[in-house]
Amino acid sequence: MHTVSLGKSGPMVSAIGLGCMGMSGMYGPSDRAESIATIHAALDAGVTLLDTGDFYGMGHNEMLIGEALKGRNRDQVQLSVKFGALRDATGAWIGYDARPKAVRNFLSYTLQRLGVDYIDIYRPARLDPDVPIEDTIGAIADMVKAGYVRHIGLSEVGPETIRRAATVHAIVDLQIEYSLISRGIEKEILPTCRELGLGVTAYGVLSRGLISGHWRKDAAKPGDYRAVSPRFQEGNVDRNLALVEALRRVAGAKGVTVAQIAIAWVVAQGADIVPLVGARSRDRLAEALGSQAVRLDADDLAAIERAVPKDAAAGARYPEAHLAHLDSERHG
């Protein structure tokens, strides 16, 4: 496994990270034993960066990771945690809270659930419209001084917010969606990160499975977020799957899978970008890690661009109500 520096001020991490959200019900039922086995397989393969959120399964995901890490060398793993999203007993999203006292509260619960003494990268999941970003970052900076947090990251924010946050404390990375069919960061956000020396941890590199090469129209199960995701809706999904078939032809000519070429494309956009793969099984993880062996030359990249042109996807990456809360969309 290759390693890279996460931004100019961050830790060395594996060139591919494991996004653990799908192990806690966001895409329908998951298998606890297989989830833990997948985390173990990732660690054994040299993956060091594990990404989670304290609201994934209302704490379930953190406890799952904590269980998987028992008996492992804590210092060989980087835990990236998002906080601030609020949910009710039905699982509905009811807002964000990034006040300084909320930061301290969320962090204490996270440390307990994960069973660790510190978090490697701690980040607000979204910009809280009622709290200046300087206050939120200042509160995390206090936790850095106290030894509970090693580094500070951001998630789904635009250039102005990135700049303001960076005046308070060094920011190691921005976590944001980036894939062949979600390229909105290329205009302003990615250049801002590069100007300021932030890395990018890219989630959704397979667009929630849509461009994995495995998705079928009848695959959604009860509780699966994709049932409401615009790109999976009737009228959009067929157009998007046509892009996948075009990409499959390019991948086939190169002797790799659709998922592997899609991940390799993200990696090819710069050494400062670390893709987070959301594998929920050892088979999918092995396929994703196989992307490390894929080298894309200029002809390959041109063929991929022809198969999946920029802005070719049908539908937004989130429902309209969710997009309204994304600073990255308002100021991207």
Pairing of strands 273-277, 199-203: parallel
Query: What is the rounded distance in angstroms from the CA atom of residue 131 to the CA atom of residue 136?
Result: 7
The two three-digit tokens of residue 243, written as one number: 């892009």
291 within 8 A of 49, measured Cβ to Cβ: no
Pairing of strands 12-14, 3-5: antiparallel
Rounded to the nearest 10 degrees, the angle between the axes of helix 298-307 and helix 258-268 is 120
Phi, psi of 274, rounded to the nearest 5 degrees:
-110, 110
20 within 8 A of 64, measured Cβ to Cβ: yes
Q: Which residues pair with 49 in a beta bridge?
A: 78
The two three-digit tokens of residue 115, written as one number: 């069973």
315 within 8 A of 230, measured Cβ to Cβ: yes
The catalytic residue among 27, 56, 122, 203 is: 56
Q: Reply yes or no on whether 56 is catalytic.
A: yes
Q: How far apart are the first and last CA of the chain?
A: 32
Q: Which residues fall within 8 angstroms of residue 184, CB to CB, at 6 or more apart?
A: 328, 329, 332
Output the furthest CA–CA distance in the chain (Å, rounded).
54
Contacts of 106-114 with CB under 8 Å at 24 or more apart are 106/54, 107/83, 107/143, 107/148, 107/149, 109/54, 109/59, 110/54, 110/62, 110/81, 110/83, 111/148, 113/54, 113/59, 113/62, 113/63, 113/66, 114/62, 114/63, 114/65, 114/66, 114/69, 114/79, 114/81
Catalytically active residues are: 56
